[in-house]
Amino acid sequence: MIKVSYLETRPSSRYAEHDPKQTGNKNTIFADIIIDGNSLYQKLKKYDLVPALGWGSEEHQRLMIEYFLLKSPFELMYHRYPILVCPWCGDLECGYISVSIGKESDIVEWSNFQVTGSNNKLEIGPYYFKWDNYKYAIESALGVE
């Protein structure tokens, strides 16, 4: 039996308001991915990447939501999607973490998290979400920036 997790997205940023590390750095505001109350960004912070949802142009945000809702495949990877990207520009050439996303019936599975470039598999997941919760959380990421 699989454990179904609860997914949320919440506005977050790379640095707290008075964090000295933000001097000279871009303090990207993004939609943090919260799984069962735990931040995916915080869990993977050592990679200095941010969630791909909730920032950039509105057109880009809508495209990312379309990918995560499996309405269209990501053009560079088969059934894999960039989940954390460069906090400066979001460009995949800067490095990213990708995830396999699949859907069967009303369950969405996130599995096989990888740091792309090195293809190092991360020891997190898999995560399973009910479609209604998943769809609401992903759509809620629009415009948090």
With a cut of 70, say whether residue 20 has pLDDT above it. no
Length of the chain: 145
Locate the domains of the chain by residue range.
Answer: 4-139
What separation in angstroms does the CA of 131 have from each of 32, 37, 47, 112? 19, 18, 29, 19
Do residues 14 and 22 touch, judged by C-beta distance below 8 A?
yes
In this structure, what token pair is assigned to residue 27? 């303090």
- Helix H, strand E, coil C: the string for 85-111 is ECCCCCCHHHCCEEEEEEEECCEEEEE
For the stretch 26-85, pLDDT in tens is 667 899 999 999 999 999 999 989 999 999 889 989 999 999 999 988 877 777 899 999
Rounded-to-integer distance, Cα 128 and Cα 126, Å: 7
With a cut of 80, say whether residue 17 has pLDDT above it. no
pLDDT of residue 15: 60
